[in-house]
A and B are shown apart, each in its own frame.
Chain A
Amino acid sequence: MTARIHPLLGAFAILVFLFLLAPLVIIVGASLSDTTYLTFPPQGLTLRWFANIFEISAFRNTAITSFQVAILGTGLSLLIGIPAAYALNRYRVGLPKWLGTLFILPILVPEIVFGFSLLKSITIGMGLPVYPSLIIGHALLVLPYSVRVVGASLASFDFSVEEAAISLGCPPLKTFFTVVLPNIRAGVIAAFILAFITSINDVSISVFLTGPGISTLPIQILAHMEQFFDPTIASVSVLLMLVTVGVMAIVEATLGLTFLTK
């Protein structure tokens, strides 16, 4: 038996999908256009704008910076976020309720305000160079994902399992690595992916923290668009989309996508 779908509902669903996907189709089309300005539908077909990305060293360099910052920033956020999530769950009874909220502040505060305050505090205030500032800024930006997603995993973890390991002679720290961590592995990977994608795509924090000679890919895309407005922008965007699709494909193949939406 198949459920009957009202024709209007069907039409509406198709419209929603179009609305979601059309911009992506337009970008792909624009990236292939054989013109020197952005246009859709494409006039003529060429891959030269993709080749152009690799000829512009600024794209290469900022892409490398972006990946480095995303990996190191996300790593740093997990180093802080996993113990924080552990403490928030393990000692829930004894801790004040607002403490958990503290860790999602970077999501709640408008990013532009957050970026500016980071500029004031770490770049100007502490005088840190651009690169470490970027890493610290991104780590703070994605910390909520680490704490919340790992926390969701820990919420369903039975801490008496940890006590069982300790009673069997396993010291507490070793217990964390041999018993707790393997059981929240999916949460840690999910947190890493969400945080990584957030970091790679970030503009508002980076725009304050990048400086002379060091920039991230989204900032470079903006800068390039202001100067040239050629289809290179579209082709970079297509490449970024492919990276995201690739990450998702790996996740789907190894863990299943459903665990990201849980």
Chain B
Amino acid sequence: MTVSLTIENLSAHYGQTQVLKDLSISVKAGELVSLLGSSGCGKTTTLRIVAGFLAPTAGHVRLGDRDLTTLPAHARDIGLVFQNYALFPHLTVQENVAFGLKQRGISSADRARRATAMLERVGLAQLADRLPGALSGGQKQRVALARALVIEPPLLMFDEPLSNLDAKLRVDMRVEIRQLQKANGTTSLYVTHDQEEAFSISDRVAIMNAGRIMQLDTPEVLYQKPANAFVARFVGFENLIPMKTIARDGAIVTAEAAGGAKLHLSQDLFGPIKDDFVLATRPDGLVVRGQGEGIPATLGTRTYLGRAYQYKCETAAGEITANGALSEMFEPGAKAVLVPLPEQCCILDPENRDTTSRPD
């Protein structure tokens, strides 16, 4: 049974503070969507509203054709995996996994069979009689996963499930979670603050800030074509250079940065061409050269990255971080130009006040 999850115009308040602002997400049947953002962006609040632990002040949550908005949490039939595992300390691994089946009135023989089968799938059948206290973090999270999956829920939700594990295990577990989720085709909502985790595990990622979704798209699009300055910064476009269009000549747009530096940019980079825009690049999208068409800069601190040198650069448009080839090393204080690589640039609208807060 695969169904879609629809979150419509959700608003939530803690006291006077609005933590979710008219938030809408649609997760297609069988899809895994991540909510990604720093703490306080509203991602966990969203998950807790869908789970039924918090009530929204406005909006609806639908699972397939069921409206969950006013349904009590225990009647929602959602599999939840928590950051701190939340296993029942007084029950064995087997009893933990069978707990949800017991609530559904399934006979004890069936419970045992299904719990055992699920424990085998997560590779823990031999630990069935242990208490959770005797398990490692990774094993605990596998039990939690088995416990959530065994009830065959139409929706699985993960709340930072890997945050308490060490780096190596985190990578292994996210592959495992993804495989199990795909094999079952369960619609899933995954909350994390870890960009790499979100991008590697998800079909689509919603980048959130201050109770809003800044962009919801595939990891590829988010990484290469951020839709706004916030998302751009979030995915590593460190340099946001305000520009003005001063001329158009066929497919070439001529634009000017603060300080008068002119750049000729292909029209293909743009959607509709605006008078004011922001040129966004990662450090490796701006090349430090001795000469050429680019933004004049005075070089500052140089860092060796292995594949390139990275320079802190002073320009009329502000401080910019750019990379230079290993073959051409500049000393601090040298004059150079920063040449944008078109395939690694993004054209964005100028930042409005609402989206200027930086991710931390």
Instruction: Enumerate chain A interface residues (CB-CB to B < 8 A).
Output: 158, 160-161, 163-172, 175, 179, 182-183
Contact = CB atoms under 8 A, between A and B. Distances in A.
B199 interface: no
B147 interface: yes
A167 B80 contact: yes
B299 interface: no
Given A158-B84, A160-B82, A163-B53, A168 B89 contact: no
Given A164-B80, A167-B148, 9 more contacts: A160-B84, A164-B144, A169-B74, A169-B75, A170-B74, A171-B72, A172-B72, A179-B88, A183-B88
Interface in B45-60: 51-53
B84 A170 contact: no
Q: Which 8 A-B pairs have the closest CB atoms?
A: A168-B100, A169-B103, A164-B86, A160-B86, A167-B80, A182-B90, A166-B74, A161-B86
A166 B87 CA distance: 12
Contacts of A164: 80, 82, 86-88, 144, 147
B50 to A, nearest CB: 11
Query: Which of A164, A170, A175: most chain B Cβ within 10 A?
Result: A164
B51 A161 contact: no
B104 A163 contact: no
Contact of A168 (B52, B84, B90, B99): B99
20 contacts: A160-B82, A161-B88, A161-B89, A163-B53, A163-B73, A163-B80, A164-B82, A164-B144, A164-B147, A166-B52, A167-B73, A167-B74, A167-B78, A168-B147, A168-B151, A169-B100, A170-B74, A171-B74, A175-B74, A182-B90
A175 B72 CA distance: 14
B282 interface: no
Given A164-B80, A169-B104, A183 B74 contact: no
A62 B76 CA distance: 55
Contact of A161 (B53, B78, B87): B87
Contacts of B75: 169
B324 interface: no
Nearest to B90: A182
Contacts of B88: 161, 164-165, 179, 183
A167 B84 contact: no
A165 B99 CA distance: 8
Nearest to B147: A168
Nearest to A93: B14
Nearest to A94: B15
Contact of A158 (B72, B86, B104): B86
Contacts of B77: 169
A163 B82 CA distance: 10
A169 B151 contact: yes
Contacts of B89: 161, 183
Nearest to A179: B88
A161 B79 CA distance: 13
A160 B99 CA distance: 15
A167 B103 contact: no
B73 to A, nearest CB: 5
Contact of B103 (A158, A160, A168, A172): A168
A15 to B, nearest CB: 43
B80 A183 contact: no
Contacts of A167: 51, 73-74, 76, 78-80, 148
A43 B76 CA distance: 77
A145 B90 CA distance: 24
Contacts of A165: 88, 99
A144 B88 CA distance: 28
Interface in B2-45: none
Contacts of A169: 74-75, 77, 100, 103-104, 151
Query: Which of A158, A163, A170, A183: most chain B Cβ within 10 A?
Result: A163
Contacts of A171: 72, 74
A169 B88 CA distance: 14
Contacts of A161: 86-89
A166 to B, nearest CB: 5
Given A169-B103, A170-B74, A163 B147 contact: no
Query: Which of A158, A167, A179: most chain B Cβ within 10 A?
Result: A167
B159 to A, nearest CB: 9
